[in-house]
Structures are given as structure tokens and as C-alpha cells.
Structure 1
């Protein structure tokens, strides 16, 4: 789009990606196993063997110990698999993984649903719903009142983690020292600190992926609904779809059925001021802060079930709401034609629904991808790591699964939904 601005790094490389401050390689890294023990759970489907083969080769090349895949076709759940590669635990189709920024689709949907129910309008300023008081002695950027809920969800609020090298979701120590508060931080600490920081861009003028914008969106959900963010999402969005396993993840402890996370890196904890070195997935970032931005845990079957809520005829969202989720923004249409909608990346295509939609997620110990295709397929894939000594890309799972889907000559007629959703 003429006149569109995007911050210096390619926006597409930022979506779903999140750091955790300064990390260092952990001693010993992730050792390669002398022998490979490969396990796959769930129902094997001969016609869909290309998906199993893709997951096996992808995981073994990177030493990924735990992975999961679910695939739907024309509204039917046709594949749900858990994969273990020298894993100390059995990975089931219902095992839970952190999904990182795939969580943004739930947060955006919560605001869209509140708008559908007449509780707010997406054109509301955040100032209508949130306290923008800065720390003592600091002033609020007057442009902050021009940040609307639309702009939060489309990453055009005016913050820029690229140009400032400052993503407040991963600057816990700086914020704690500035405010004189202890770690682990609360949402209110981050918001108060950021209320005293100037915006980098005029709101609505520039796309820059903002985890902080989604932190704020979660607080708007709470302010308007009167419920904790997680409770609202579970009650209004997940329960109607019979999704009961999804939850907000914890930084150290694990939920029942949740996998362990791996990384070759370690770093200082943000859970207290000790400066102790911890494994990267367990305390170099705060899952409490991440909730609306990247804090959910889910299985792959839960994610494709969630994706079905955005199909035509949805029981959760009316046509107006679905139109809002996938509406073309006034700025931010990439040269390749894709853009960020409300919690989803969107690429217009010919045929079918006329669009592919997707989101990735990335945190230390996590890589995730959720895809909805224009011709009636969807898939979700999750891994319990995002880095390893091989240096191989994890984003390549996207093209690999597209290739696997094209190798299917005849799609099965069965439907596994009732196996996983009572």
C-alpha cells in the first residue's frame, strides 16, 4: 500500500517471536542421543502418512523431544498425533504445550466478542478503560489517548520494539529498578512504567509488532467484563467449543499433562532479584506477564478446535465480527499481500474462503503454528523447544506441512472430534 510504513526489521519475522533478555548457551547444550527412540500416539492414518513422515524428519533433524500435530479437513478432525523423540515422557495428542503468541488470537477474539455483545466498541480509546497514570515526575505522551482497541490488536499503537530495542515484556529488571518494585512484576507495574514512556510513532501510522499492546488488550477484557482475563476467555470462548484443557501457563510449575520445555540457553531469573542463572524456559521471562500476549497452554487438537470458531457459520461470532477479525487494515499490507488482522495474519488468495490465515508462536522452549487454509483445511503444530545446536530454522515447519498436505491423494472421511471433545 502506498505510503505504508513498517519498522526496520521485516514485520513477518517478528510475528510470534519473543526474546527473553540476554541469554547464554547452557553448558553442554542439548546432547544428541546415541540411539533414537521414536514414538507416535493417536490414531495412525495411512492416507495421511506424509504428515507423520514430515514431523519425524523435522523433529529428528533438530533433536526436538516432544511435538504434536492436529489436522482438519472440511470441518472434520482427521489427524491427531503426539510424537516423542527420545522423550522422557509419552507425548499424547492431548498433552499440553505452551503456545506463545498463538495466544493473541484468543485475546483479540475476546475484545471482538465484547464488541459483538455491546460491551465496548473497537474504536474506543484505551484511555476509556485503563488507568494511564505515569510514575511520579513523568508525563503521559498525549498521543496515548489516540490508541484505540483496533490499533492495539493490529499492532499500530505506536510502540516499536525494533527501533527502541525495548519490549517491556522482557525488560523486567529495568522496569523493577525504575519503579523501585520487586520482581516478579505484575501487569500494573509494566503499564505504569510504560505510561511514562513516549510513543515512537503516531498511533495508526505504522505497523510494529507489539506484545505490550496485547498485554493492554487483556487488561481491557478484565476491565469491561469484570472477570479475570483467563476466566472470561474460558467461559465465553472456549466452553462453548467444549475446550476444557486450555489454560494460562505457569513459569516454573507444570499443569497436569503439560510437557517439559528445552533450550540450549540459560539466563538470569526475572522471578526475583537474585540474578540466579536458570534454564531459559523456566524463569528468564514471566508467564504471569505473558498471559494475553503469549501465555496460553493447549494441545494441537485444542488449537484446531479453536480455529474452527472462525469458520463461516461460527456459533461464537456473527458475520460482522468475523469481518472485523479479517478486515484489511488502513496500513500494514505487506508487499506480498498479507497483513495482520485481529489476532491473525491474513493472506488474500483466490478460491475457497479467499484467504489463508495463520499465527506463529515462539518463546524459549516453545515453537507453535496454527494455520487455516482457504480450501477447508487447518493444522496446528507445537514443539517443546525453538532452538538447538543444529541451527536449523523452526519456521520451515510451515512450508513442510503445506508440502505434506499436497501429498495427500485422498482425504479420509472419518471424524475424530468426539474422541477429544465430549
Structure 2
């Protein structure tokens, strides 16, 4: 059996480096289940029920988009609401992040004020008859990725969210102290043994410094969200992903991260006023 905590720790038994990432096999999943493409999250789950696990659940960490897609369906089952409705009502609206919403796959369906995404690559559309498309617009089915990578947000709303779950006193938290402590606590052995940092429940944590961070990308976008032990936080968003020859996303992320840390280290006097109400 796979537990909720194992899903949260990315220890559910799926390893995309060993097998594949089913969230990017929309057409295959739909065909296997016998439904029209593109495959919903529920269809991908039905497809994966017929696939073997890559390792014993709980025995090690392996980042899994699919595991968090399953968690979204658990939220829907428990709450009786859609994943988006529940997260907005219980987390984002109390945090003041009222403009966050789930994205759509097609350019024609992007939200008002949402940027356009750019990528060097093209792909076969997951929509029947869609032909070859720019990867961010139909190369994958974003609607099925809601709970592992589907949110559209501004940097300001990301920071509203972060400062509502960071355990600091600067702004009210939407989670209680016990929930926040559980979220960042070390995962059980053997996960991350001997490492200076670990993956909690949704965050990478460096406990000695009190730093949390989360990064990620999709074709057409790159994101970084950081909370420091010193009480600072920042969010970085790009409407592209670095995949040019001789480079890769990890290098781009690391250089961006280091540049911001260096800039932050040069500031000796931070202002105390709150500008959240003035910006979207």
C-alpha cells in the first residue's frame, strides 16, 4: 500500500528516471484506458494502476509529479469539492492570494493578464487533430496537472501564500504551528539520511539555517520560491525554461538562486512597511 505521507515525501514507488513520467503521456494513457485524449488526472491514475511500481514505497525518495496528482484526487474525495475550489477556499483566499487560479493548456484559453510562454521545442499536440504545436501550448495536458504544477500566479501572490504558511509572526498563518512543524519535519529513515537538507511535505528544507525552498519548471516556465531562516522571502518567475545547447535548467536555477542570495547579502537595512495591499 502507498500512504498519504509517502506521496507527500515523494516516496510512493514511482521513479520517472527508472520508468517514465505518466503526466507527460496523456495520449498513451487515454488510449490504454479506452477514452478520448487528452487524459484527465483520473484517467492517468487508471492507467497507472496497471503499471508496476519502480521501488518499494517508503524505501527511498524519487520526485513524482504523479504522486502529487494522486494527492489532488485525495483532497477531492475527502472534501467533496474540486481541488481548485478547496485550495482557494481553505488556503489561498485566507492568505490574500485571490488571483491564483489553475492554468489551461491552450493559448486561446489563457487567463486575463497571464503571460505568454515561450519554449525552443515543439511537440505533437495531446489534442486530437492538433498537429505539431509549441510545447507549452498543447504538448502536455495542463488540466491534468492541477495539484502538481497547474497554478498560475504572480510573484506577489506566491509570496502572500508563502508568508501565510511560513511559521513567522510577520503575517498571520493559515496553518497552525503543529501543521507547519509537520510540513517541514524530516521524512522518516531511510529517506535523506546523512544529508544536510531534506524534502519535507512539499518543501526542500535546510534545517541548520532554517531555509525552505521550492523550485520547478515546465516547458515555457520556471519558478523559484524561497523562505530564509532570517525572515526573508522571495519569488522568481520566468515565462520560459532554459534548455539551450550547452546549458540546462539546473544550471539556470542555480545561477539565479546564487545571484539573489548575493544581492540579499548586500542589504544592511530592510524597510519595515508592508506593500502587499498596493500590488497585485
TM-score between both structures, scaled by the size of structure 2? 0.92
Corresponding position of 1:199: 53
Q: Deviations over 1:75-115 (max 9, x none)?
A: xxxxxxxxxxxxxxxxxxxxxxxxxxxxxxxxxxxxxxxxx
Is 1:347–2:206 an aligned residue pair? yes
TM-score between both structures, scaled by the size of structure 1? 0.62
Q: Whole-Å Cα distance in 2 between the matches of residues 408 and 267 of structure 1?
A: 44
Corresponding position of 2:134: 279
- Unpaired stretches in structure 2, ≥5 consecutive residues: none
Q: Whole-Å Cα distance in 1 between the matches of residues 212 and 183 of structure 2?
A: 10
Contact 2:102–2:151 (CA under 8 A) maintained in structure 1? yes
Is 1:266–2:127 an aligned residue pair? no
Which residue among 351, 356, 368 is the counterpart of 2:223?
368
Q: 1:408 offset after TM fit, Å?
A: 1.4
Quote the RMSD (CA, aligned, Å): 1.6
Corresponding position of 1:320: 178
Aligned structure 1 segments of 4 or more residues deviating by more than 3 angstroms: 388-393
Q: Whole-Å Cα distance in 2 between the matches of residues 192 and 169 of structure 1?
A: 12
Task: Describe how 1:215-234 pairs up with structure 2 within 5 A.
Answer: 215-234=69-88
Q: Whole-Å Cα distance in 2 between the matches of residues 168 and 282 of structure 1?
A: 18
Q: 1:389 offset after TM fit, Å?
A: 4.2
Corresponding position of 1:398: 257
CA spacing shift, 1:270–1:334, aligned 2, 3 Å: farther
What SS is found at the alignment partner of 1:162?
coil
What SS is found at the alignment partner of 2:66?
helix
Task: Describe how 1:162-311 pairs up with structure 2 within 5 A.
Answer: 162-164=17-19, 166-252=20-106, 253-272=109-128, 274=129, 276-311=131-166
Q: 1:205 offset after TM fit, Å?
A: 0.7
Q: Whole-Å Cα distance in 2 between the matches of residues 404 and 180 of structure 1?
A: 53
Task: State how many pairs are aligned.
Answer: 270
Corresponding position of 1:130: none
CA spacing shift, 1:271–1:409, aligned 2, 3 Å: same
Contact 2:96–2:157 (CA under 8 A) maintained in structure 1? no
Contact 2:221–2:239 (CA under 8 A) maintained in structure 1? yes
What SS is found at the alignment partner of 1:380?
strand
Task: Describe how 1:2-81 pairs up with structure 2 within 5 A.
Answer: none
Higher RCO (C-alpha under 8 Å, 6+ residues apart) = 1
Q: Whole-Å Cα distance in 1 between the matches of residues 5 and 102 of structure 2?
A: 24
Contact 1:367–1:394 (CA under 8 A) maintained in structure 2? no
Q: 1:318 offset after TM fit, Å?
A: 1.2
Q: 1:156 offset after TM fit, Å?
A: 0.6
Q: Whole-Å Cα distance in 2 between the matches of residues 307 and 243 of structure 1?
A: 10
Q: Deviations over 1:13-52 (max 9, x none)?
A: xxxxxxxxxxxxxxxxxxxxxxxxxxxxxxxxxxxxxxxx
Corresponding position of 1:329: 187
Q: Whole-Å Cα distance in 1 between the matches of residues 222 and 193 of structure 2?
A: 24
Which residue among 264, 272, 277 is the counterpart of 1:413?
272
Q: Whole-Å Cα distance in 2 between the matches of residues 388 and 337 of structure 1?
A: 29
Contact 2:105–2:137 (CA under 8 A) maintained in structure 1? yes
Q: 1:390 offset after TM fit, Å?
A: 6.7
Q: Whole-Å Cα distance in 2 between the matches of residues 163 and 335 of structure 1?
A: 24
Q: Whole-Å Cα distance in 2 between the matches of residues 387 and 371 of structure 1?
A: 20
- Unpaired stretches in structure 1, ≥5 consecutive residues: 1-145
What SS is found at the alignment partner of 2:212?
strand
Q: Whole-Å Cα distance in 1 between the matches of residues 216 and 279 of structure 2?
A: 23
What SS is found at the alignment partner of 1:217?
helix
